């Protein structure tokens, strides 16, 4: 069953035919909200809002372990993370959809492993390629079949939040090789890897990063919602294509 984790701009999945909601208790505390179970064109799908249904959970306060454990416990065979990001690379414009392929982690203090505590053996996971290649290719193929333009390949810089970055920090991230910047990509990706659940991300460029483009003197928050509303409609179409209901013959 495919699981969708929605971020800023995607707090509900309007194309999901809901069957029920379930509050899940986990060994790691409570997830961000009740898991919504349903179908997209007859295909079982789960949805979980990363920041809660009222967008009340800051990025550094998200219980990533509870979220991933709950989805895995209920049979997720793949997790798609949807998140808004700032664009650093010059060709990335607000409204663009990006499929990242690598991560730089600048977060701190977040619970980032299931394998810790007294008597719990440490598990070292290979994280050379943080996103599942097969799942990324399925997303790319769905977008291509629907003629939804996506930028394939980007290095995601995960920051602590909830504040946005300074222009100097964005300059640093660019020197480090980052193309986009967000606040929720880690430890979500590595926790999925520890659970052996395929994980991939769909990023929407909400704005130019600090010091770039029309954000040279500051971020214009009033324009973000309009950008996200338009782009998230395309993201929903990609998700439909991914489960096979919008593309004839897709599986």
Is there a domain that residue 251 lies in? no
Tokens of 79: 């997790």
- Going residue by residue through the chain, which has 251 residues, state the pLDDT in tens, using 9 for 90 and above: 999 998 776 766 767 888 999 999 999 999 999 999 999 888 899 999 999 988 899 999 999 999 999 999 999 999 999 999 999 999 999 999 999 999 999 999 999 999 998 989 999 999 999 999 999 999 999 999 999 999 999 999 999 999 999 999 999 999 999 999 999 999 999 999 999 999 999 999 999 999 998 888 888 887 788 888 889 889 989 998 888 764 444 43
Tokens of 125: 């996971």
User: DSSP letter at 48?
Assistant: E
**CATH (domain of 111):** 3.40.50.1580
Domain of 204? Answer: 2-243
Closest CA to 199 of 121, 52, 47, 82: 82
Is there a domain that residue 64 lies in? yes
- For residue 223, the model assigns a pLDDT of 78
- For residue 41, the model assigns a pLDDT of 83
Closest CA to 228 of 10, 55, 14, 58: 10
- For residue 249, the model assigns a pLDDT of 42
| 8 A C-beta contact, residue 89 and residue 179 | yes
Spatial distance between the Cα atoms of 75 and 63, rounded to a whole number of angstroms: 19
Half-sphere exposure in the Cβ direction for 157 (13 Å, CA): 23
Spatial distance between the Cα atoms of 244 and 251, rounded to a whole number of angstroms: 5
Is there a domain that residue 249 lies in? no
How many other CB atoms are there within 10 angstroms of residue 129's CB atom? 12
Handedness of CA 51, 55, 59, 60 (dihedral sign): negative
Is there a domain that residue 250 lies in? no
Secondary structure class of 1 (helix, strand, coil): coil
Predicted TM-score (pTM) of this structure: 0.92
| 8 A C-beta contact, residue 35 and residue 53 | no
Is there a domain that residue 248 lies in? no
Structurally, the chain folds into a number of domains equal to 1
């Amino acid at each position: 069953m495919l699981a969708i984790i929605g971020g800023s701009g995607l707090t509900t999945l309007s194309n999901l035919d809901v069957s029920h909601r379930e509050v899940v208790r986990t060994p790691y505390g409570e997830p961000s909200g009740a898991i919504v179970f349903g179908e997209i064109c007859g295909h079982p799908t789960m949805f979980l809002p990363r920041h809660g249904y009222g967008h009340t959970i800051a990025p550094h306060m998200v219980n990533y372990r509870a979220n991933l454990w709950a989805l895995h416990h209920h049979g997720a065979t793949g997790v798609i993370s949807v998140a808004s990001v700032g664009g650093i690379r010059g060709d990335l414009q607000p409204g663009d959809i990006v499929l990242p392929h690598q991560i730089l982690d600048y977060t701190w203090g977040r619970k980032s492993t299931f394998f810790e505590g007294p008597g719990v053996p440490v598990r070292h996971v290979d994280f050379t390629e943080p996103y599942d290649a097969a799942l990324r290719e399925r997303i790319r193929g769905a977008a291509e079949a629907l003629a939804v333009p996506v930028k394939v390949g980007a290095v995601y810089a995960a920051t602590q939040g909830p504040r946005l970055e300074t222009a100097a920090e964005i300059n640093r991230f660019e020197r480090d090789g980052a193309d986009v910047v967000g606040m929720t990509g880690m430890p979500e990706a590595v926790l999925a890897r520890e659970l052996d659940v395929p994980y991939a991300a769909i990023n929407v460029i909400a704005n130019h990063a600090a010091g770039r483009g029309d954000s040279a003197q500051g971020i214009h928050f009033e324009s973000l919602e309009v950008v996200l509303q338009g782009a998230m409609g395309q993201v929903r179409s990609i998700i439909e294509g991914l489960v096979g209901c919008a593309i004839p013959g897709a599986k």
